[in-house]
Amino acid sequence: MMDRIEYLRKQVRDIPDFPIPGILFRDLTTLFKDPRSVEVTTDLLVQRYAGKGITKVLGIESRGFIFGSILAYKLNAGFVPIRKKGKLPAEKVVSTYQLEYGEDSIEMHKDALVPGDRILLHDDLLATGGTTVAALNLIKQLGHFDISICFLIELAELGGRKKIGPDYDVFSLLSY
């Protein structure tokens, strides 16, 4: 597995001083555009979650939609989008979370989950964990579910995993 992980690591482009000076941005668009990287990423994530009885994959807007929908297909599960405020047409649950300068909200349809669903929550990046915790709050509003969480990249020094807490199986393909 390590050679495939190193292959994926080489597909992630580092962009210094973006979006502000002092930040090293991990750009996944280079991984997304490479067919082999998409295949390897998909295979590694499917291998981890196959046979776990996942019934719904929840993808966080917007880059969580890319592999979230692929995983749903490969795991024979439904796909549920977690959207930014104002994007969903039917009755929904809302979770507000703090940003560095203000707050934001995400939403999910109220009828997205049913009792007994086994959930895989997916996003591209784990940084501070704020969006993931907000997504978990959405899920909790709809009931008690078995939840696993996966990311393509984790920026470990930002402490997002600690914010999520020890109650969840959290997995990241790449950690920086």
The catalytic residues are 63, 100
What the block records as the tokens of 108 is 């999910």
Helix %, strand %, coil % of the chain (to 5): 35, 35, 30
Q: 35-49 and 64-74 helices cross at what angle (nearest 10)?
A: 60
Question: CA 117 to CA 167: how far, in whole Å?
Answer: 17
What are φ and ψ of residue 114, in 5° steps? -130, 155
